[in-house]
Amino acid sequence: MKLTFIAFLFITIFVVVVDLLGFWVWNRELEEPKSKKAKRFGLLLFAIVPLFEIISYFFLTQYIREASSPVFYLWFMAANALCLLIYLPKTFFLLYYLLFMLLSTITQVWKNKKYSKEQTTIKYPKISRKKFLSQVGIILATAPFVSLIFGMHKGRFNFFTRHQNLSFPNLPSIFDGFKIVHISDIHLGSFASNFDKLEDIVDIINQEKADVIFFTGDLVNNFKEETYGWDKVFTRLKAKYGKFSILGNHDYGDYTDWESPEAKEQNFNGIVNAHKDFGFKLLRDQSISIEIGGEEIAITGVENWGHDPFPRYGDLQKAMKGTEEFPFKILLSHDPDHWDAEVVDQTSFDLTLAGHTHGMQFGIDWKGFKWSPAKYKFKKWDGLYQHNNQFMYVNRGLGFLGMPARIGMPPEITVLQLSKGPIGTEPM
């Protein structure tokens, strides 16, 4: 509740400040003689829009925990999208405008000091200044608007496959070339009934002819109803030695105030059963082995383990029990923070697979440069990480939540190929 209030307070202050500044600019830049009708229209516009956004956000955040249907989350994402579409372009324009005014003032003060006032008073045609302000401002405001539209229309469905080869000296020889497909964070409720979008993913994955498929949690946003009808899609996924999954923080129903503990348990059981219906073996603080030609590797799946405010259900010691003698071990853990907290230098897991961060669904990944707001929340937030002989791969996820868009952080299918040899990595 405290975080919800802080978020609401931040949004309210942000919206009010942006619109007050926007109205000030609107008034300041009106052509002379100033139109009373235009001023009234501006006042009305800059009053109604923020009021609508504040009221909408208040009710959505107040009642999101009382929601009993996946549809509520779609409305929540739609409201977020509308807010971003309105206020991100405004913010960019205002930042540009204020910077322009600041630089103009500094330049004028400098000129006044250097020369006499008579020599330096330069009157530019007002229309030229307005044209410059409007044209450059519109370009700057249009860029985030277009990016958001692209991210909502195409970016969130622009699935890409990332291939990586990992080499381990202790990998059993018969597993040399073993191919893993790693997916995460599907959030089925966000897709509504767009079955065709994930049908495309199934086709892409099946083309890889994987030995095993691992899914590292967040099948849903909150409700078991989100899984209805999707069995016909996920049962089509094929892997030679099976499909294995774990739960993520959204799979426990913790983001709703249920009528009773029994209602929450019923919802949770429905989500658990969906894994089975989809053809996945759900690992809940337990380990299994994959055997090929008399040689085995261990696969351990742990319940969600996270730092506040994310739930911590996982018991790694319980999950890894009985794996001591296996030469090679893989851990499935939804939250990448778990790796630094309990895995690195404390266990002998060779490879950990995680998800959870979504790459914050926004960022830059271009020619070796990678940035996202996710880096300020998570130490490990995207891609491959290594500590001595231990590796972790963080998948960006296939779905989306909060914002119905992905900008610069497209949904990901990860293909990892294991090789026997000196410890190392290389692209496939």
pLDDT tens-digit readout, 162-219: 999 999 999 999 999 999 999 999 999 999 878 998 999 999 999 999 999 999 999 9
According to the model, what pLDDT value does residue 316 have? 98
Q: Mean of the pLDDT values across residues 396-415? A: 95
Instruction: Extract the tokens encoding 246.
Output: 């774990």
Please write the tens of the pLDDT for every residue from 2-61.
Answer: 556 676 777 778 888 887 887 787 777 665 545 666 666 666 666 777 777 777 766 666
Q: How far apart are CA 306 and CA 173, in angstroms?
A: 35
According to the model, what pLDDT value does residue 33 have? 45
What residues have CB less than 8 Å from 11, skipping those under 6 apart? 53, 54, 57, 83
Residue listed under structure tokens 């608007």: 145
pLDDT at 428 over 90: no
According to the model, what pLDDT value does residue 35 have? 64
Mean pLDDT for all residues in the chain: 87
Q: Mean of the pLDDT values across residues 109-124? A: 60
More confident position, 27 or 291:
291
Kindly list the domain boundaries of the chain, sorted by start residue: 2-153, 160-426
According to the model, what pLDDT value does residue 12 have? 79
According to the model, what pLDDT value does residue 101 have? 77
Q: Give me the DSSP letters along 307-360.
A: STTS-----HHHHTTT-TT-SSEEEE-S-THHIIIIITTTS--SEEEE---GGG
DSSP state of 362: B
Q: How far apart are CA 48 and CA 26, in angstroms?
A: 15
What residues have CB less than 8 Å from 103, skipping those under 6 apart? none
According to the model, what pLDDT value does residue 5 have? 67
Q: Mean of the pLDDT values across residues 145-154? A: 86
pLDDT at 328 over 50: yes
CA distance to 5, 46, 171, 251, 275, per residue, from 290 (Å): 48, 62, 13, 26, 19
According to the model, what pLDDT value does residue 49 have? 72
According to the model, what pLDDT value does residue 17 have? 84
Class in CATH terms, 160-426: alpha beta
406: nearest Cα among 237, 226, 185: 185
* Contact call for residues 234 and 86 (beta carbons, < 8 A): no
More confident position, 138 or 366:
366
According to the model, what pLDDT value does residue 295 have? 98
Q: How far apart are CA 222 and CA 69, in angstroms?
A: 9
pTM of the model: 0.85
According to the model, what pLDDT value does residue 371 have? 95
Q: Mean of the pLDDT values across residues 267-291? A: 98
Share of the chain above pLDDT 70, in %: 84
According to the model, what pLDDT value does residue 250 have? 96
Q: Mean of the pLDDT values across residues 373-400? A: 96
CA distance to 17, 140, 188, 217, 254, per residue, from 258 (Å): 37, 45, 20, 22, 9
Q: How far apart are CA 277 and CA 405, in angstroms?
A: 29
Please write the tens of the pLDDT for every residue from 213-272.
Answer: 999 999 999 999 999 999 999 999 999 999 999 999 999 999 888 999 999 999 999 999
Cα torsion 273, 276, 282, 284 to 10°: value is: 30
